[in-house]
């Protein structure tokens, strides 16, 4: 039996969910082998938890993330930052994200949580889902929330085959 990591132990003392962000999220998803000097997390809480004084904490994330797993929260954080923390080539980054999103139930949970995220996150999640042949009902749910005149910076995910269909520009 192994002992829990520092982030897992700290998360148990918090009232709000805590998900890895930045390099911490990229590391959790296998997009980098780097470990940041100061771990980075995101939480819907209005203020940073005192248990993690040495960490970078992004507060005020959507409450819709409360039911997500650590990996699911990390996926949303990677999409939020356009996969800038990935050390892998764009095609490999996309492959790994699609591998993490391949479960339809997980994808459904992320679509539900993404309704409270910025539009570019919903657009990237839609492009990933379209490439994975996710149910049209889920893809339409995302598409209906996007202004058809908007264009989004997909960053490292610009190489998605369906990026243009989802307003990458």
Convert the pLDDT of each residue in 56-96 to its tens digit: 999 999 999 988 999 999 999 999 999 999 999 999 999 99
CA distances, 167 to each of 114, 117, 164 (Å): 17, 16, 5
Any domain includes 112: yes
Residue 98: which domain range?
6-166
Any domain includes 1: no
Any domain includes 105: yes
23-33 tens-digit pLDDT: 999 999 999 99
pTM score: 0.88
Helices (H), 52-89: 70-80
Any domain includes 130: yes
Any domain includes 62: yes
Domains in the chain, number:
1
Residue 126 · residue 91 · CB < 8 Å: no
Any domain includes 116: yes
Check residue 95 and report its DSSP letter.
H
């Amino acid at each position: 039996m192994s002992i829990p990591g520092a982030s897992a132990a700290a998360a148990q003392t918090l009232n709000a969910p805590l998900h890895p962000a930045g390099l911490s999220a990229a590391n959790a998803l296998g997009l980098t082998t780097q470990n940041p000097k100061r771990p980075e997390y995101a939480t819907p809480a209005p203020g940073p938890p005192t248990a993690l004084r040495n960490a970078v904490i992004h507060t005020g994330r959507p409450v819709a993330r409360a039911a997500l797993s650590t990996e699911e929260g990390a996926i949303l954080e990677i999409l939020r930052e356009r996969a800038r923390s990935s050390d892998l080539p764009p095609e490999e980054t996309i492959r790994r994200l699609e591998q993490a999103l391949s479960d339809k139930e997980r994808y459904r949970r992320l679509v539900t949580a993404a309704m409270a995220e910025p539009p570019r996150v919903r657009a990237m999640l839609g492009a990933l889902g379209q490439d994975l042949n996710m149910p049209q009902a889920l893809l339409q749910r995302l598409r209906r929330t996007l202004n058809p005149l908007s264009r989004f910076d997909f960053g490292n995910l610009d190489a998605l085959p369906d990026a243009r269909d989802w307003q990458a520009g």
